[in-house]
Amino acid sequence: AQKITQTQPGMFVQEKEAVTLDCTYDTSDQSYGLFWYKQPSSGEMIFLIYQGSYDEQNATEGRYSLNFQKARKSANLVISASQLGDSAMYFCAMRLNQGGKLIFGQGTELSVKP
């Protein structure tokens, strides 16, 4: 069964420090995509970063990087130099090549302390 697991319900990080949010996935498909979304208190879903299953390099988007370990089926999000505006819910999601469907994890609430 396809599944996304985020084991950290809540995380705290000091401003300007780096933080890693964990995500593991389960699928038997060879072709899939992994996403991270940010959901601030205003509620919208903001796309952060994407990693394809065949991508050899880890994805990076500004302060966000995705630590992709295919053999371990993990896709951790690393946020460098945390900012107060990074305080939000973070969701890991997996897309299979079946009509654009996404499977989401339960989310991690990140709080950045000044």
Partner 1 sequence: NAGVTQTPKFQVLKTGQSMTLQCAQDMNHEYMSWYRQDPGMGLRLIHYSVGAGITDQGEVPNGYNVSRSTTEDFPLRLLSAAPSQTSVYFCASSTGRVREQYFGPGTRLTVT
**Rounded distance, CA 86 to CA 112, Å?**
7
Closest CA relative to residue 8, chosen from 87, 110, 95: 110
When the beta carbons of 16 and 54 are compared against partner 1, the nearer one is 54
Q: Is 33 in the site for partner 1 (CB under 8 A)?
A: yes
Among 56, 57, 85, 100, binds partner 1 (CB under 8 A): 100
Helix, strand or coil, per DSSP, at residue 110: strand
Among 52, 61, 72, 80, binds partner 1 (CB under 8 A): 52
Q: Shortest Cβ distance from residue 33 to partner 1 (Å)?
A: 4
Q: How far is C-alpha 109 from the geometric centre of its chain's CA atoms?
A: 12
